[in-house]
């Protein structure tokens, strides 16, 4: 018996064990792959008989599994010499199982999204009540459960910013930035937080990094102008505002900023 046929026999002999473990997809895939091997490779008479007996046993085992019958209620039939027909049935069963897996994945995604929404609302309520430690505990648990979710960290950071908890926001945004070093909006947010913390020099570094990644973002330039307003650096404020207006002449707030900066420079 060839190596490939030995592999097919091994797969078929594993079906019962896989089904007992609830591994329906691997079990059906094993039958499917074994049938392809049998159909594609020369089989001697005694080997053919052995495989026919194995396939009859496998078919019986599949039909006898109550859980699998709920997923695929059609009777799986096999007669010696009807390997291609059985292969078609395995393909149909695989499609059914894959559809079920996809549905379960979607349900899991929806459940996770619902949990995020619920927990974020709970933490926001705690923030609104100035129960800082309790809110942080809820946020920290969410981050632990969804550690790679940069958008979640940014969302929580925004909530901290709106509650004037700038240090918590800064720490979380730095963590998010480590996950996604190219995220312009994170540099922008960090710059804004540092501006509110009056750490102007460090804020400038983050803003300029964001600007190096997106030099034609008029709103980013406007935020940089606001930094220079707080920092009372009028020439730099004018430069940022002027660039924003060049990109978007209809940006009224940037136009006002530019006029204000020029007025300060002329005094």
* pLDDT above 60: residue 194: yes
**Mean pLDDT for the chain?**
89
Nearest Cα neighbor of 244 from 263, 227, 267 is 227
**Per-residue pLDDT at 67:** 80
d(CA 169, CA 193): 7
Confidence of residue 247 (pLDDT cuts 50, 70, 90): very high
Confidence of residue 180 (pLDDT cuts 50, 70, 90): confident
d(CA 58, CA 90): 12
Please give the CATH topology (third level) of the domain spanning 112-266: 1.25.40
d(CA 202, CA 170): 12
* pLDDT above 90: residue 179: no
Helix%, strand%, coil% for the chain, nearest 5: 80, 0, 20
* pLDDT above 70: residue 206: yes
**Coil, strand, or helix at residue 217?**
coil
* pLDDT above 90: residue 4: no
Nearest Cα neighbor of 50 from 5, 4, 3, 19 is 5
94-103 burial, b if ≥16 CB within 10 A, otherwise e?
bebbeeeeee
Helix H or strand E segment including 77: none
**Per-residue pLDDT at 225:** 95
- Residue 144 exposure: Cα atoms within 13 Å on the Cβ side: 7
Give the pLDDT confidence of 63-106 residue by residue, as tens digits: 888 888 877 888 888 888 899 999 998 898 888 888 877 666 57
- The answer to whether the beta carbons of residues 203 and 194 sit under 8 Å apart is yes
Give the pLDDT confidence of 101-138 residue by residue, as tens digits: 766 657 666 778 888 889 999 999 999 999 999 999 99
Kindly give, in sequence order, each residue whose CB lies less than 8 Å from that of residue 101, ignoring residues fewer than 6 positions away. Answer: 25
Mean pLDDT of 215-223: 92
Q: What are phi and psi of 156, to 5 degrees?
A: -65, -40
Give the pLDDT confidence of 32-62 residue by residue, as tens digits: 999 999 898 888 888 889 989 999 998 998 8
**Coil, strand, or helix at residue 149?**
coil
- The answer to whether the beta carbons of residues 230 and 200 sit under 8 Å apart is yes
């Amino acid at each position: 018996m060839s190596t490939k046929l030995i592999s097919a026999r091994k797969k078929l002999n594993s079906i019962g064990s896989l089904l007992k473990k609830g591994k329906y997809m691997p079990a059906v895939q094993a039958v499917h792959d074994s049938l392809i091997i049998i159909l594609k490779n020369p089989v001697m008479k005694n080997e053919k008989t052995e495989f026919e007996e194995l396939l009859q046993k496998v078919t019986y085992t599949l039909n006898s599994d109550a859980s699998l019958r709920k997923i695929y209620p059609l009777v799986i039939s096999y007669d010696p010499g009807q390997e291609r027909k059985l292969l078609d049935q395995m393909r149909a069963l695989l499609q059914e199982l894959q559809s079920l897996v996809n549905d379960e994945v979607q349900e899991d995604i929806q459940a996770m999204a619902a949990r995020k929404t619920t927990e974020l609302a709970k933490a926001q309520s705690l923030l609104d009540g100035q129960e800082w430690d309790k809110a942080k505990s809820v946020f920290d648990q969410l981050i632990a459960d969804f550690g790679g979710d940069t958008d979640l960290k940014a969302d929580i950071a925004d909530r901290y910013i709106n509650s004037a908890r700038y240090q918590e926001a800064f720490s979380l945004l730095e963590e998010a930035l480590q996950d996604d070093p190219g995220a312009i909006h994170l540099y922008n947010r960090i710059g804004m937080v540092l501006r509110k913390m009056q750490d102007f020099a460090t804020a400038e570094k983050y803003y300029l990094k964001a600007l190096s990644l997106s030099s034609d973002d008029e709103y980013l330039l406007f935020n940089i102008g606001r930094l220079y307003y707080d920092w009372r650096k009028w020439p730099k404020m004018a430069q940022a505002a002027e660039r924003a207006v060049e990109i978007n002449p209809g940006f009224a707030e940037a136009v006002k900023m530019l006029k204000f900066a020029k007025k300060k420079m002329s005094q």
